[in-house]
Amino acid sequence: MRSGDDPGGRPLTERGARTRERLLAAAREVFEERGFLETRVAHITRHAGVAYGSFYTYFPTKEAVFLEVADRLFEEMTDHALVPSAGPGPADRVRRANRAYYEAYLRNARMMAIIEQVATFNEEFQELRRKHRASSVGRSARVIARWQREGLVPSDLDAETAAGALATMVDHSLYLWIVQGSDPQGAERLLETLDTLSVRALGLPD
């Protein structure tokens, strides 16, 4: 279903689209406050200031609105692939990408904690997560492959596997650091370490 459609696939009016956006914004805030399991549709509609029955005009279930909230979050998070398209050099591009992802993680930390929870039991959500991860890793892998052709990265390194491994290292490190509550005063040290490991793993000139 497109974001501008109702559950029946019909295009929404401008007013309907605004109501749907209010429900999405309210849903995210309620999920962040209560968690996925404790959230009810009534909590979302009350927070959005719309009638209970109006929810089902736009979403068939609580799971459906959560999936769209998560889809939008993943779009923002994975927009920062391993290597952005601009920068003074490959090593600096890696550093800038890691910091962009870190900043996005900070903005979305509460939802990321809930996402980790839901990923343990919801198969549809797991598939959504895999799709976004594959897209992000694929973009990074293509850049690594280009660097290999330019002689900047060793040719015997598998670009796809390397991109996935580095993404996992950065993502899980930030999850443990931010969501699990490690000392934020050490964030810069963590980022510098992730940068160094990423650059050295790829064999990039620093």
Q: Report the distance separating Cα 94 and Cα 120, nearest Å.
A: 30
Q: Would you list the DSSP string of 156-179?
A: TS-HHHHHHHHHHHHHHHHIIIII
Q: Report the distance separating Cα 94 and Cα 91, nearest Å.
A: 5
For the question of whether the overall pTM of this predicted structure is more than 0.85, the answer is no
Domains of the chain: 13-60 (1.10.10.60), 61-202 (1.10.357.10)
- 């609105």: which residue's tokens? 65
What are the mean pLDDT values of the chain's consecutive 10-residue runs (206 residues total)?
Answer: 59 86 97 96 97 95 95 82 62 90 90 89 89 91 94 96 95 89 75 95 90
